[in-house]
Amino acid sequence: MNVNRNVNGALNGISGTGPRAGFGSRLPEWGPFPPELPGPGRTEPQRPEERRPDRLPSYFVPLGPDPITDRLFERRIVMVHGRLDDERVTAVSAQLLTLDALGEDPIRLHLNTPDADLGAAVTLIDTLDALNVPLHAQVIGEVGGPAVGVLAAAHRRQASPNAVIRLSEPRLRLEGNAAELAAATAQMRHMLDTVYFRIADITGREVDEIRDDALQGRRLTSSEALDYGLIHEITTRPPAAP
């Protein structure tokens, strides 16, 4: 049975296959080889530019050789751009928890996340709740779907004049038998209710109203988001010095 619904979350499947090499079976293909050694079927050494870079692990936090990230980290700024998924939320959470341990000044979280996996958004919400220092969120660009719940978890919320906040339900694809589908759907609804209750708590609106707006895919400008109660203020450029 295969069901495709707009409900309360995103389900990430993990699968893996691989042959076992034993006595009498063919040997696996080894690689990549160092540039000074030829690979299977190669007559010349492999040049460095021909090798594919290794995939970064999910726990990788890009703080080392990147001078821009280093400078932002020193100023206690964490940027979240693009879709928020499990891999990205792991790196962001590591940065937030590190900054939380390094000082008592507020952390600034810059958000430009048009969409998010529901599980990743709830994980980041839990991380924000665990911080001992204030967190100030700034919407730059667009924040949508479950990522709005991340915005709602911040202590102080701002948006740039051209920012957009989109209330919407995530698209969920489930596979399995009837019992598995029912259990997964219930879990996703519970997670999405967590997001809705967060938004209701900061806006003073009813959960049913927020759910209806999400079902309709309501888009809010900065001014509309301010009236809705999602942000505290719209940031403006400071006046030029005389």
CB 128 within 8 A of CB 97: no
Instruction: Lay out the sheet containing 156-159: strands in order across.
Output: 77-81, 107-112, 135-139, 156-159, 233-234
pLDDT digits (tens, 9 = 90+) for 151-194: 999 999 999 999 999 999 887 777 778 887 888 788 888 899 99
Query: If you average pLDDT over every residue of the chain, what do you get?
Result: 78
d(CA 6, CA 185): 10
Q: Say whether pLDDT at 23 is over 70.
A: no
CA 16 to chain centre: 24
Residue 144 banded pLDDT, cuts 50, 70, 90: very high
Position 236, amino acid: T
pLDDT value of residue 10 = 37
pLDDT digits (tens, 9 = 90+) for 187-231: 888 899 999 999 999 999 999 999 999 999 999 999 999 999 999
Token look-up 């030829």 returns 38
CB 202 within 8 A of CB 230: yes
pLDDT value of residue 179 = 81
pLDDT value of residue 26 = 42
Q: Say whether pLDDT at 232 is over 60.
A: yes
Residue 122 banded pLDDT, cuts 50, 70, 90: very high
Q: Say whether pLDDT at 17 is over 50.
A: no
Q: Say whether pLDDT at 7 is over 80.
A: no
pLDDT value of residue 68 = 81
91-100, 128-137, 182-191, 198-207: which has the minimum mean pLDDT? 182-191
pLDDT digits (tens, 9 = 90+) for 59-82: 444 444 568 878 888 999 999 999
pLDDT value of residue 11 = 37
Rounded percentage of the chain residues whose pLDDT exceeds 90: 57
Q: Which residues of 205-215 are buried (b: 16+ CB within 10 A; e: fewer)?
A: beeeebbebbe
Distances (CA, A) of 15 to 18, 56, 174: 11, 19, 15
CB 230 within 8 A of CB 148: yes
pLDDT value of residue 16 = 41
Which pTM was predicted? 0.70
Residue 56 banded pLDDT, cuts 50, 70, 90: very low
Q: Say whether pLDDT at 43 is over 70.
A: no
Domains of the chain and any CATH numbers: 67-233 (3.90.226.10)
Distances (CA, A) of 30 to 34, 38, 73, 236: 11, 11, 39, 56
d(CA 230, CA 161): 14
Distances (CA, A) of 239 to 35, 223, 236: 56, 21, 9
